[in-house]
Amino acid sequence: MPNNPAFLYGSPEPLPTAYILNAGAVNCLYENGVLRYLRVGGTEIVRMIYPAVRDTNWGTVKGRIQNETVEQHSDRFSIGYDWLINELGIQMECRITITGDAAGTIQFGFRGTALNTFLRNRVGLCLHHPISGIAGMPCTITHPDGSTTTAEFPNSIAPHQPFLDIRALQWRMEKGYSVRVDFDGDVFETEDQRNWTDGSFKTYGTPLHLPFPAEVPARTVIEQRITVSLIEVPNDGSASDESIKIVLREENWPMPRIGTCLTLTAEELQLADKIRKLTFTHGRAEVWLNTPDWADTLRRASHHADALGLPLALGCHFGENPEQQVRALLEVLHTLPHSPKALFLFQESQPVTTAILLQEVLPMLRQHLPACRLVAGTFTNFAEFNRNTMDVSAADAVSYAIQPQEHAFDLRSLTETLSAQADTVATANQLYPTKPVWVSPVTLRKRYNPYATNPASRLIAPEQQTDPRQPSLFLAGWTLGSLSALAASGASDITYYETVGLRGLLTTDRLFSVYHWLQKIADFAPERIKLVQVSDPLAVSALHLLRGKDYLLLLANHTNRPQEVQLSSPMNSRVTQVGTEGWEIVAGPKTIKSIALPEFGVISLYVKDEH
């Protein structure tokens, strides 16, 4: 495999330098202005600390780092840098200081000066808590007046903030470590970021009950500090285990149905033969019934779905007169050669499927389209699905979309979202236990911003939905992890990306890495998916598929360094690996007990039953 950064992770530029630092018993990683993965004896106690500035539409300012210094010693460290902001109408000069001492105390300081007058939704520091080892554990909250209360980190995804009015938090990890975090410079609160598939709880400054956006006058100085302290460290001799272990279990369940979104372009029809090879179960298209050309869009979607051999799944976006619009919709649907497989029911500017759609529109569709699956849910994030209840008794399934870049954009943060995707399905099953969960669509960037102050800014322009990492090997591995997480938690259907173009699987001159990976699954034609446990899911994902007595194990390395993976059960198999031209044989057939995964590598092991 060529060591080509653009092929591996979508950028011709090298990844930022990462520093492994120690502060007494705590080790952590510093990269690109962010402190990550604070661990003691291999146990993660804090996931991330970083500065954040959000504009009036909750857009995230990236800023520019200058004058960075990193001093590291065996048991302590010191970091400083200037963070310069000039985007989204916000101009600031910020100084960041980070220290870790031999006692294991870590401080992260922020001092920002506004250079212009601007509106902000948030300015200051954020701390992410890991989910594993902390969900369900009790914590003590110290409030600004000095009083304390006790609560628990939630197991299921909390729709709203579980902790409010925070001056300090103290909690005990499952393995016995006790941690205290003090917050200075603002009143903080905690939200469950799994609502947006971030794999963390986030404690942040400026409570959301205060009015926003708020004006920040020029020359305003904002100072905050977060201090992490170890209160108790059990003397159990535990240490970090560097090896990655894959445990193959016997538990298995049906393979979810996988589809894609239609682009309705000439290029899509031109590449129909290649798309058909992926054997998708549906092609999704959106119809906005308030637009004058919606009927033409619907007819074109039907034509493209037929050309690709895909049942049509239609996102129907109703306006203010859904009873009238559903009649017009049915008139056009009855003229099509094939009825759609599914209809997703949405109403513009509403977070989830409305009562009028469920009580008035859905029965009409059921009467005229008895074989069509009628789906309730949201066009956007799981947060909206989780925060707004629906009476879905008449619906056939529930649905929400996933995109991993609501708050962060780097490769590590994208990988962290994989475990949270599983939690969204588990929570959806708790909310609506009798309804299948259809995750649709999964995209690398968001298509819609429900939090934009200006409604005209909510539907995101296509060019802003594109990401240079779409063709990369990293995206193929991330998708493998996504399918593993969603399937393991019981998703019935999943819609991935688009067919063609820069948000899709291929172009007229190139098959993307994710195309090759999905074709491997299509060629194998799995019937069921088996449980796999990975000791370090931030580094490696695994997908174990079953067809009769044949097995296909797929592994993905999410990191920019080789990983040695140990299998719990040896496999007699040939090893293949995704390269620039598709799958390449790299070893075997032979008995495989361990596998060396190259940086961002995606490999497969196929075991055929010979009896």
Helix axes 473-488, 411-431, angle to 10 degrees: 20
How many other β-carbons are positioned within 10 Å of the β-carbon of residue 429? 18
215 within 8 A of 119, measured Cβ to Cβ = yes
Over residues 191-220, the mean pLDDT reads 95
142 within 8 A of 148, measured Cβ to Cβ = yes
Is the N-terminal amide bond of 589 cis, ω within 30° of 0?
yes
Closest to 130 measured CA to CA, from 248, 238, 22, 28: 28
* Confidence (pLDDT) at 553: 95
Distance, in Å, from the CA atom of 134 to the CA atom of 46, rounded to the nearest integer, reads 10
Buried (b) or exposed (e) across 450-474, using 16+ Cβ within 10 A? bbbeeeeebeeeeeebebebbbbbb
Q: Where are the beta strands (DSSP E) in 88-199?
A: 90-100, 106-114, 118-120, 122-130, 138-142, 148-152, 163-166, 168-172, 178-184, 188-192
Mean pLDDT of the chain: 94
Which H or E run contains 245?
A: strand 244-254
For residue 240, what pLDDT band results from cuts at 50, 70 and 90? low
Cα 260 to the center of its chain, rounded Å: 17
Distance between terminal CA atoms of the chain?
A: 35
505 within 8 A of 514, measured Cβ to Cβ = yes
For residue 410, what pLDDT band results from cuts at 50, 70 and 90? very high
Over residues 264-293, the mean pLDDT reads 97
Cα 234 to the center of its chain, rounded Å: 34
* Confidence (pLDDT) at 1: 55
pLDDT at 56 over 60: yes
Residue type present at position 446:
K
* Confidence (pLDDT) at 264: 98
pLDDT at 460 over 90: no
What percent of the chain has pLDDT above 70?
Answer: 98
Helix axes 294-308, 322-333, angle to 10 degrees: 40
List the CATH code of the domain at 532-607: 2.60.40.1180
For residue 186, what pLDDT band results from cuts at 50, 70 and 90? very high
Tens digits of residue pLDDT in 312-337: 999 999 999 999 999 999 999 999 99
* Confidence (pLDDT) at 381: 95
* Confidence (pLDDT) at 611: 44
Place of tokens 């630092």: 21
Name the superfamily (CATH) of residues 248-531.
Answer: Glycosidases (3.20.20.80)
Give the 3-state secondary structure of residue 277: coil
* Confidence (pLDDT) at 569: 86
38-to-27, 288, 392, 426 alpha-carbon distances in Å:
6, 46, 42, 27
329 within 8 A of 289, measured Cβ to Cβ = yes
pLDDT at 241 over 80: no
Over residues 374-384, the mean pLDDT reads 97
Tens digits of residue pLDDT in 551-576: 999 999 999 999 999 999 888 888 99
Hey, where are the domains in the chain?
5-232, 248-531, 532-607
pLDDT at 236 over 80: no
Diameter of the chain measured on Cα atoms: 77
Tens digits of residue pLDDT in 57-71: 888 898 999 999 999
Strand 43-54, strand 122-130: pairing: antiparallel
List the CATH code of the domain at 5-232: 2.70.98.10
* Confidence (pLDDT) at 174: 77
* Confidence (pLDDT) at 451: 82
Tens digits of residue pLDDT in 158-185: 999 999 999 999 999 877 889 999 999 9
Distance, in Å, from the CA atom of 594 to the CA atom of 598, rounded to the nearest integer, reads 13
Place of tokens 């159990």: 236
Tens digits of residue pLDDT in 113-137: 999 999 999 999 999 999 999 999 9
CA angle 274, 277, 280 (to 5 degrees): 110
Strand partners, 179: 171, 230
